[in-house]
Amino acid sequence: MRSEAPPLLPIFRSRHQAELLAWLLLHPDQEFGLTELAQRLDVPLTTLQREAQRLIEADLLQARTQGRNRLVRANPANRATAPVRQLLEPSLGPLAVIGEELALPRVECVVIFGSWADRYQGQPGPPPNDIDVLVIGDPLRAEVYDAADRAQTRLGLPINPILRTSEQWATNNDPLVEQVRHSPNVAVFEANGEQT
């Protein structure tokens, strides 16, 4: 399966490669199995294996085998790792960072919308200057704003969280909910505890 270059940062060979690299560089102290990464990034396993192998050969990733599993991680010894991470953080980093930081108690779903989601989905336009996030559930407002501040620090972009209850999300009488539903959006966390 061939994927196109990621619209937010088209310098990479494919969206799959960029998302794999972003995930691993934003989690530099962790290693992940290829099967887990394929599921997490919603990429066919064979595609992910090829992209990982290219990045291993380029020395941006390290790999080891544990039983039948192949585990990969970012290679901190490569001088290019830090600059590549700096490129990826504001462009594809929100996929990982927003979901992690806003995975709070009583949050059912976190959805990125607005200009970042537009660019991620391939709509032309200037690079996003901020990230609009819809937080669905009944979390404590202060916790949401603290989490948004942490995400903003990590990404270097302002994060604009907007809260809606599950009931508001389920109805059709909220103009913002309707706007989010009918425009590009990216769910980055769901209540089952997994990032999407």
Q: Which of 42, 73, 88 is the last residue of a domain?
A: 88
Strands, DSSP E only, in the chain? 32-33, 61-66, 69-74, 107-113, 131-137, 159-164, 185-190
Contact (Cβ atoms closer than 8 angstroms) between residue 132 and residue 160 = yes
Number of domains in the chain: 2
Q: Which domain holds residue 72?
A: 15-88
pTM of the predicted protein model: 0.84
Whole-number Cα distances in Å, 188 to 38, 40, 76, 101, 112: 15, 10, 26, 10, 7
Distance CA 50, CA 14 (A): 12
CATH number of domain containing 185: 3.30.460.10
pLDDT tens digit at each of 196 positions of the chain: 556 766 777 788 888 999 999 999 999 999 999 999 999 888 999 999 999 999 999 999 999 999 999 999 999 999 999 999 998 888 899 998 999 999 999 999 999 999 999 999 989 999 899 999 999 999 999 999 999 999 999 999 999 999 999 999 998 889 999 999 999 999 999 987 554 4
